[in-house]
């Protein structure tokens, strides 16, 4: 009955041109411009995985969690309503915007995020055409990637995503007063991670979105492009201790980061939860 994957992310952005330079020049995403000025970003056989809405300010517009069946979707909606959440069915215009057969929306107060549950994403009849030479993205059966948020109450957030939305624990990392907890809903090591608030970071802040390449060369070429073109590099190339993702981080024009990586571990039936004392095996040094 739980969530099966992160399906899409929608964002309100104040600097569309800067966003599109990163999406195309660095990440090779395919773009579709809408008549209203919004832009869909495609990375696989889904019609799109990201939508950028032009805005005077920058913020997360919504997270779209995919459900495996219409029965699972309705069961989770009823479960949420039974817990006191106001869950509204998407109207026809929103379903058309998201390119889904059915969907519901509610405000999730722990991440402070507009949250959407959906079934039946549109698979495009034409092949994904990247805007630079890349192998593609690792999404099949794994979803878009992962998201990481800062929260005020890590225990309550873990309980909600585990007991209500159906996630499972992957592992923990704690270092220098920072606490991170990782959760999965499919074989991807984590689709959601949560961190405590530190250094003035506010609850509900989006730390980063991860997207995973099909080739380490894609990540290496992108790293050179970032360094040569002046895109703000937040964290140098490195390898994480828990999911073994080899990646780097850039800061987007909206303030949060994008992690672009390769080689993340998959979780199987013999997975054992661990607690790590550092987030990296090597690298991932902060820039600036």
**pLDDT tens string for the chain (288 positions)?**
799 999 999 999 999 999 999 999 999 999 999 999 999 999 999 999 999 999 999 999 999 999 999 999 999 999 999 999 999 999 999 999 999 999 999 999 999 999 999 999 999 889 999 999 999 999 999 999 999 999 999 999 999 999 999 999 999 999 999 999 999 999 999 999 999 999 999 999 999 999 999 999 999 999 999 999 999 999 999 999 999 999 999 999 999 999 999 999 999 999 999 999 999 999 999 998
- Domain identity same for 31 and 83: yes
Paired tokens of 4: 């099966």
- Domain identity same for 155 and 117: no
Give residue 108's pLDDT. Answer: 98
- Domain identity same for 67 and 154: no
Q: What is the CATH number of the domain that holds 87?
A: 3.10.180.10
pTM: 0.97
- Domain identity same for 173 and 242: yes
Residue 95 falls inside a structural domain: yes
- Domain identity same for 79 and 159: no
Q: Which range marks the domain in which residue 35 is found?
A: 5-121
Residue 128 falls inside a structural domain: no
Which residue bears the tokens 């006191």? 84
Give residue 96's pLDDT. Answer: 97
- Domain identity same for 216 and 113: no
Residue 132 falls inside a structural domain: no
Give the total number of structural domains in the chain: 2
- Domain identity same for 188 and 109: no
Give residue 222's pLDDT. Answer: 98
Give residue 80's pLDDT. Answer: 98
């Amino acid at each position: 009955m739980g969530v099966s994957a992160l399906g899409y992310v929608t964002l309100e952005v104040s600097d569309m041109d800067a966003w599109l330079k990163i999406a195309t020049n660095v990440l090779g995403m395919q773009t579709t411009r809408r008549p209203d000025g919004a832009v869909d970003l495609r990375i696989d056989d889904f019609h799109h995985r990201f939508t950028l809405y032009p805005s005077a300010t920058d913020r997360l517009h919504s997270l779209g969690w995919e459900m495996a069946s219409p029965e699972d979707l309705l069961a989770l909606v009823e479960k949420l309503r039974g817990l006191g959440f106001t869950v509204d069915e998407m109207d026809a215009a929103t379903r058309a915007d998201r390119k889904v057969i059915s969907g519901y929306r509610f405000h999730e107060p722990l991440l402070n995020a507009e949250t959407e549950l959906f079934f039946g994403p549109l698979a495009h009849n034409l092949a994904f055409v990247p805007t630079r030479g890349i192998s593609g993205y690792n999404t099949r059966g794994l979803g878009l990637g992962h998201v990481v948020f800062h929260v005020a109450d890590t225990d309550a957030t873990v309980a909600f995503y585990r007991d209500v939305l159906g996630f499972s624990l992957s592992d923990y990392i704690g270092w220098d007063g920072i606490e991170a907890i990782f959760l999965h809903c499919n074989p991807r090591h984590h689709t959601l991670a949560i961190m405590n608030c530190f250094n003035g970071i506010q609850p509900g802040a989006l730390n980063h979105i991860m997207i995973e390449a099909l080739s380490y060369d894609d990540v290496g070429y992108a790293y050179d492009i970032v360094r040569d073109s002046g895109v703000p590099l937040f964290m140098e190339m490195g390898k994480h201790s828990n999911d073994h993702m080899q990646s780097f981080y850039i800061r987007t024009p909206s303030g949060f980061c994008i992690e672009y990586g390769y080689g993340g571990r998959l979780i199987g039936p013999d997975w054992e939860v661990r607690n790590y004392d550092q987030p990296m095996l090597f690298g991932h040094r902060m820039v600036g």
